Amino acid sequence: MSLTIETELKDVLAKIDQRLERMEQGQNELKLSVSELKGEVKNLSTELKGEIKTLDTKVDGLSTRVGNQEFLLRTIVGGLILIILGGAAKMFWNLPTSS
């Protein structure tokens, strides 16, 4: 027993055309998705560059503040050393006083 199926060539070609059209639509959608992803990657890289510049500015500001604090600390320590030396000199040596 053999089974014979009869279909027209037009119907088969129409089905093949429909499937090819669906494949082309899927390919076009993939191309759009890829281009959208490329745009998003470019946006992310631009945002990251902006954030890095902001961080660089903050680091520069912090280094300036630390530099100012170091100068202030050196000044205070220098003043304290002078006071201690002056007190020691007064304690151990009799400095001339004007009378």
Convert the pLDDT of each residue in 14-58 to its tens digit.
899 999 999 998 888 888 888 888 888 888 888 888 888 888 888
The contacts of residue 88 (CB under 8 Å, 6+ apart) are: none
Rounded Cα distance between 22 and 52, Å, is: 45
The residue assigned the tokens 């000044």 is 75
Rounded Cα distance between 8 and 16, Å, is: 13
Residue type, position 44, single letter: L
pTM to 2 decimals?
0.39
Convert the pLDDT of each residue in 1-14 to its tens digit.
677 777 788 888 88
Rounded Cα distance between 75 and 82, Å, is: 11
